[in-house]
Structures are given as C-alpha cells and as structure tokens.
Copies of this chain bind each other. A is one copy, B any other.
Amino acid sequence: MADGEDTFPGQSIVTEGEWAGWRPCVGSDPFEDQSGPYYTRDEPDGSVVCAFRAERKHMNGGGFMHGGCVLTFADFCLFAIGREALKDVHAVTVSLNGDFVGPAYEGDLIEGRGEVIRAGGSLIFLRGIISTGGKTMLSFSGVVKKVGKRDAKN
C-alpha cells in the first residue's frame, strides 16, 4: 500500500558519481527512505528502470538479500512502472505476488523493470522482473487501485 505521491518527487537528476543520470526518490516516504535509497531512470523507449545498491542493511541472517527488502523494492517499482496511468491520482497496492528465483549480495546493483498489463478505470495490473548483473532475482505481479484524484497543488 505504497502511495503514488512519492514516485514523482520532482527531484533533480544526479549529475555525477555512481548515480549520474538517475533521479533519486527520497525524502517523502519514510519506509522507502530507509529501505532504499531508490533511483529511477527513463529509458529511450519510454520505459523506466528502477535501481538501488545493496548494502549490509538489506541483508538477512543468511547474508543475502532479505525477501522483504526485494518485495519493498518491487512495490516501489509498481508505482514507477505505472507512473503514466497513475499521474493524476492517489493509488494503493491491492495485491503483490513475488516468486523468488535468485539471490543478491552486499554491493550488488539491483534493478527493476516491468510493464503495465492493463490500465483500467480503477485497477492497474502490472508485472516486472527484479535482477542483478543480468540474473533474475524476483518475478512479480501486482494490482494497484486508484483511490482519488491528486490535489492540483501536489
């Protein structure tokens, strides 16, 4: 039940360092701030890529990335992937399903990509893949529900 508000933070694209060319998504969503920081980048084909760098804090007791960490990023990805359909509305996650197929470790660059399956009047259906170094970590699908118009000022 992330809220779309925080996926368009109006923040400036980073101009140097590891994240040059990426837009940081920080400062408006406390749980994402501590679980990230997350970044997005618009691709030439109109799609969006989401990413974050795996740190020690993202790991589980076994030394690889916690399932909840991967799903939190997937929930973030839903709203980034669906940003066009959700740009004028508030929305909440109704359903999120994930199949875990591979691990990630401290230091890995984690990327999320996906697509809108259908954008209906009230429900948006999406799916995506989270991967690291070209290896799939999670296959996910989700349903997001529009819950009201976004305030003109926001």
Question: Which residues from chain A sit less than 8 Å from chain B, CB to CB?
Answer: 1-3, 5-6, 28-32, 34-35, 56-62, 64-76, 90, 92-103, 117-118, 120, 122-123, 125, 127, 129, 136, 139, 141, 143, 145
Contact = CB atoms under 8 A, between A and B. Distances in A.
A104 to B, nearest CB: 9
Contacts of A143: 94-95, 99, 143
Contacts of A58: 30-31
A94 to B, nearest CB: 6
B125 A60 contact: no
Given A1-B64, A3-B62, A101-B118, 7 more contacts: A1-B67, A62-B92, A92-B100, A95-B95, A95-B100, A97-B98, A99-B125
A22 B141 CA distance: 31
Nearest to A71: B71
